[in-house]
């Protein structure tokens, strides 16, 4: 892992890479900026981050495509397992819009 990754990105919390000493994951930063189109500065303000943290998270996402694909697959498996095990009242569908 590169020096810059070890200073800004950690793996000690959650089950995926995240910004060191924060709960926001690299995947979440990517989703907000690149999928939802939010400005990196707005994401930094919302989560009380340095804007550099946002850019490091984005760089990490793109520098580690295999790891991030595995993280997304694991998340999808966990969500599906949760949906299958939760006892809901009749008529409640988590996928209904």
Dihedral sign computed on CA atoms, order 80, 84, 89, 95: positive
Whether 95 is in a domain gets the answer no
Whether 90 is in a domain gets the answer no
Q: What is the 3 state secondary structure string of 6-69?
A: HHHEECCCCCCCEECCCCCEHHHHHHHHHHCCCCHHHHHHHCCCCHHHHHHHHHHHHHCHHHHH
Whether 65 is in a domain gets the answer yes
- pLDDT tens, 28-75? 999 999 999 999 999 999 999 999 999 999 999 999 999 999 998 988
Q: Please give the residue range of the domain that contains residue 8.
A: 3-85
Whether 92 is in a domain gets the answer no
Nearest to 6 by CA among 63, 51, 49, 47: 63
Q: How many domains does the chain have?
A: 1
Whether the model pTM is above 0.85: no
């Amino acid at each position: 892992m590169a020096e810059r990754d070890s200073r800004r990105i950690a793996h000690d919390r959650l089950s995926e890479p995240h910004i060191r000493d924060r709960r926001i994951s690299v995947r979440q930063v990517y989703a907000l900026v690149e999928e939802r189109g939010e400005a990196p500065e707005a994401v930094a303000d919302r989560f009380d981050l340095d804007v550099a943290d946002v850019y490091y998270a984005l760089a990490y996402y793109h520098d580690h495509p295999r790891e991030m694909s595995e993280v997304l697959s694991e998340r999808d498996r966990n969500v599906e397992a949760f949906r299958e095990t939760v006892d809901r009242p009749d008529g409640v569908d988590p996928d209904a819009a």
